[in-house]
Structure 1
């Protein structure tokens, strides 16, 4: 196989049918072009800045490649054919670690690969054991801190892992209630977090040999989320909604147990994270989302860098996604609603900017649809943010697809979305919305969703469909609803509660029995059950159990008259496929039109390219048949 040349400058490789699409009906773009693996993804520069790693398809699976910056030759490092590699990182200038599981079971383990020899070493691969990364220890080339639930499947103990020998050293005992650990810049674990989703306690220790002692107790509505130690290792940067509705970025003093300084806050939106210079030991920016992703730059040196990049990069939206240890060589990614991603290499010492790769050079941006942020009112007057994507050159009386996101503790955001573009290209108006309970909107917005599955949360989604009709955008007889995970649940509840709105539903890995779903949580979710009981419902309480049953699709079969399509992976550790089997059998026994797609090599949602393409091809045919939406 000829290796991918990452430094190849892409010219005229887009999927071009017509150079002029104004006032024309755009051609239908094949599903393969929306859902095939990207040409390049997750590009990361080595600590010394001399090599660039990236993911690229080999035999329809994302595999790991590395390019020499000076010679510009590329070597393939991994040869996986079962599942994509999605998460990887440089551990030192010569070795990388990538994360794998078994066909989507989410019991992750690590593989170390040497960029020169291609030698691989599997680490921590044990049946039923899940490994997570706590700290990659940027300045330690041989060790990292990992969390592992080997001793108890519900909790994770922190270990120092030597990647050369595979030996692990226990760094602290988890007494059974710690859900998070934070190391300082010297690699010493100083903070432990006990969190059940409702109540939280921070524990601190002065030295590695001393015991953790509680220093702060709080709850979700007066919360403190540690992010990173400050450069002096005495304080922490944290997200805090103490005394406010939304989460601000603050400096928190561990000695006085008080917020020392508020660095950034927004009256409507939570902050997401910080950007940090590890070479200068200083915070450089605040990341938050309103309708779009934003970075509030905090220091002059970073502002000067961004000003230079703005003068060099033609695209408006760009972010630094990887840097060498000295932070002089970096990878820049641009994106937009019609741009799946373009990657650049920038050398701050020389001012050299090199185009590395487009994510999907086969997609012509002129044929894609813009995503417009919108706002509408829920039934009770609550303001709901959303995103509307219309088919190119068409604006009114359209068939429509409503796509509620999964989670539900997640949110939709502005940017390129293959699913949205696929359906817009087929003539649909596509509406996404951040219904109550979506993350990023503060405590009151979250609390408005408590014990409202299938109720006011569902009404928020319905209000979006009604808004499309009121605005003349959607034809009221051609609306469908589709989602995955919680979104799949909401799609099913849509045709149960509001059959007058939706002609059909498509559910991927959707929850069909809430009581059963809560009872079958993976063991490592059990520490968060208290929050689930408070926000969704507690099956052990009679009133809650009745409420959850009443709002579960499995108990509403008699109300389903519209066609339904479902899809599920047999390895799903979050939503049991057996529950979907039971639901499908009940639908068929009731005479409901149902299609069911099962994949043996998938987990929660489909990842493998051939399965994703098959799903969307079948979903498109199904939706066209029930909405009568031929272009």
Structure 2
């Protein structure tokens, strides 16, 4: 690290820490039990939404034992309806209209005709006046029973009486290859939904015009690797877009406000950034020049229940917005300016954009919700974590270093208030993100905060293969599992140790999903580097992972091709897969390893951790394996999240102690 750059960073860190560490109590490292209680808990309030008329808000209220969706009247200043949703795990809620709230939930259960248990997505309609809940689609009512995704909504009718949902529909009881059709569901009485459009086995999505008419369907032909957009024609369907590709490298996300074009997210060849293009539904013509900035990737779009796109959200450690309506853009910018140095996220809006909901995260809050109605100042609604005061929020900083081959690696640092007086040679946790096609943000990260509260420096390098930093950065990670992607983490340790921030004798690596793989790869392939490792729901055997994907989806499926291209080179052998699998290098591991896995994980099955434990035990390595009961891939349950955090903090403590 260049000395002048290091001392500049050190000065910033000292000023940041000293400004926040105002008492001896804050400067002391937090106890494990206290950190688990505060940071391991689920957010008390989440999923904040506003009704179209701006008179109601709805949100998820969680405790250790239960979860409820509550509907609150802003005029009456009281809860007017709600429902206990502990059994259905809602992960998304939104208003369809003033009278109905849509809940998209998941339940881990058996699926008729299949072995094992699966995360089954389902949608419900909650009446905001009565509190009654109706399930919108049910297997067996013309709906194929052997499917796990019944929570998708692609549009509504003009009067909101009907909602349109895709589902696999079998022709008969013996039909084992059902078509992906579009169902029309009456919201007030969803029994007996009607098959509105008959799809086929290659259909993957539908787009509608807000009046109950399908304007396009998206298909992917896995058998010949063709990505298609078809529009209604006088006889059947007409193809307007066709691309030969092994994996989907463009994403169709919504429609323009006039319903004349699809919105497509794709690489801008002129800038190497992910941009926003339009595809005409009349003739399939793709806009030559994307909308949006040339210096940032489009992360996602802002769209309503009918998937009309109103603006762009740019990637980065903090989100940046571009609304297509100039007056709306001015309002959003003005509100964000009222919260300087904070991460401000636009999370909901009314159809007329008079009422906007924001979430604010940073040194002043672990997550505060505000309602900004037209003509008024932002109104505080609730705190996500009311027990976490600003005085105990661990600050973050951003720094970028160059890898040995010249690749820039942006890095997020979460700093411990207990190190305010001397932020040097700190015990450090490397925390690689999952995905790996993902990236970290500067908002409240419960795991990074808990680790920093215990006195550790947390480094989150955005290794090559991460999204959000340009196509070149993402593509540089293709085929680099266990290789250059892992090297970026290794070089982060060396870089910040050389600069004096990291104590190289006290470094652990911890991650979930792909991050769990990276943690295992770290101690397997660079055994001298880490004092310990923690893998949460991590991949241990890449060969087995690809086998599982082929078995679940079919060898020709584009998802299989994605994982093949992401993990290894295009042409590979079993030996290549073994070479990047920590499972086959268990005998090389020197550091103690903690394995944590949800027993109901369907993304990375628990057998990865079971087999890794066996391999490490057979090699006489120090390993501990913790199974999280009734937990899936995402640590959605409060009790098991706290259990996992307690295990992590207790496990790493002796290896990071001075």
Displacement of 1:340 in angstroms is: 2.3
Separation (CA, whole Å) in 2 of partners of 1:310 and 1:338: 14
**Counterpart for residue 239 of structure 1:** 265
Secondary structure of residue in 2 paired with 1:611: helix
Please, what is the CA RMSD of the aligned residues? Answer: 3.1
Secondary structure of residue in 2 paired with 1:180: strand
**Counterpart for residue 81 of structure 1:** 86
Separation (CA, whole Å) in 2 of partners of 1:311 and 1:448: 35
**Counterpart for residue 204 of structure 2:** 179
Displacement of 1:339 in angstroms is: 2.6
Q: 2:254 aligns with which of 228, 236, 259?
A: 228
Bigger drift between 527-536 and 451-460 goes to: 527-536
In the TM superposition, 1:90-239 aligns within 5 A as 90-103=95-108, 105-126=118-139, 128-130=146-148, 131-137=150-156, 139-149=158-168, 151=170, 156-163=180-187, 164-195=189-220, 201-206=227-232, 210-217=236-243, 219=245, 223-239=249-265
Secondary structure of residue in 1 paired with 2:573: helix
**Counterpart for residue 610 of structure 1:** 639
Separation (CA, whole Å) in 1 of partners of 2:216 and 2:410: 36
Displacement of 1:414 in angstroms is: 1.8
Distance 1:355 1:239, change over 3 A: same
Distance 1:206 1:111, change over 3 A: closer
Q: 2:391 aligns with which of 349, 353, 366?
A: 366
In the TM superposition, 1:514-553 aligns within 5 A as 514-521=542-549, 523=552, 526-537=557-568, 543-553=572-582
- Paired residues of 2:169 and 2:178 also in contact (CA < 8 A): no
Q: 1:567 aligns with which of 596, 599, 603?
A: 596
Displacement of 1:402 in angstroms is: 0.3
Separation (CA, whole Å) in 1 of partners of 2:397 and 2:186: 48
Distance 1:191 1:487, change over 3 A: same
Distance 1:489 1:180, change over 3 A: same
**Does residue 1:445 correspond to 2:473, yes or no?**
yes
**Counterpart for residue 13 of structure 1:** none
Displacement of 1:311 in angstroms is: 7.3
Give deviations 1:213-248, integer Å, cap 9, x for gaps: 242326589954333222322223322325342221
**Counterpart for residue 629 of structure 2:** 600
Secondary structure of residue in 1 paired with 2:206: strand
Give deviations 1:151-175, integer Å, cap 9, x for gaps: 4689843322223233333344443
Secondary structure of residue in 2 paired with 1:619: helix
**Does residue 1:44 correspond to 2:49, yes or no?**
yes
- Unaligned ranges ≥5, structure 1: 1-17
Secondary structure of residue in 2 paired with 1:124: coil
**Counterpart for residue 420 of structure 1:** 448
Separation (CA, whole Å) in 2 of partners of 1:531 and 1:548: 15
Give deviations 1:187-231, integer Å, cap 9, x for gaps: 433233334899652322145973142423265899543332223
Separation (CA, whole Å) in 1 of partners of 2:594 and 2:179: 36
**Does residue 1:576 correspond to 2:605, yes or no?**
yes
Distance 1:469 1:422, change over 3 A: same
Give deviations 1:75-125, integer Å, cap 9, x for gaps: 452223346432122223222222232248321112222222222223434
Separation (CA, whole Å) in 1 of partners of 2:394 and 2:154: 40
Displacement of 1:619 in angstroms is: 0.7
Distance 1:379 1:194, change over 3 A: farther
Displacement of 1:377 in angstroms is: 1.9
Aligned residues: 607
Distance 1:41 1:470, change over 3 A: same
**Counterpart for residue 142 of structure 2:** none
TM-score for both structures, normalised by structure 1: 0.88
Bigger drift between 586-595 and 613-622 goes to: 586-595
Separation (CA, whole Å) in 2 of partners of 1:461 and 1:429: 15
TM-score for both structures, normalised by structure 2: 0.84
- Paired residues of 2:273 and 2:471 also in contact (CA < 8 A): yes
Q: 2:322 aligns with which of 296, 307, 310?
A: 296
In the TM superposition, 1:304-315 aligns within 5 A as 304-306=330-332, 309=335
- Paired residues of 1:491 and 1:507 also in contact (CA < 8 A): yes
**Counterpart for residue 6 of structure 1:** none
**Counterpart for residue 70 of structure 2:** 65
Bigger drift between 563-572 and 116-125 goes to: 116-125
Separation (CA, whole Å) in 1 of partners of 2:245 and 2:654: 49
Displacement of 1:442 in angstroms is: 3.3
- Unaligned ranges ≥5, structure 2: 1-19, 110-117, 140-144, 171-175
Separation (CA, whole Å) in 1 of partners of 2:488 and 2:521: 12
Bigger drift between 186-195 and 594-603 goes to: 186-195
- Paired residues of 1:324 and 1:330 also in contact (CA < 8 A): yes
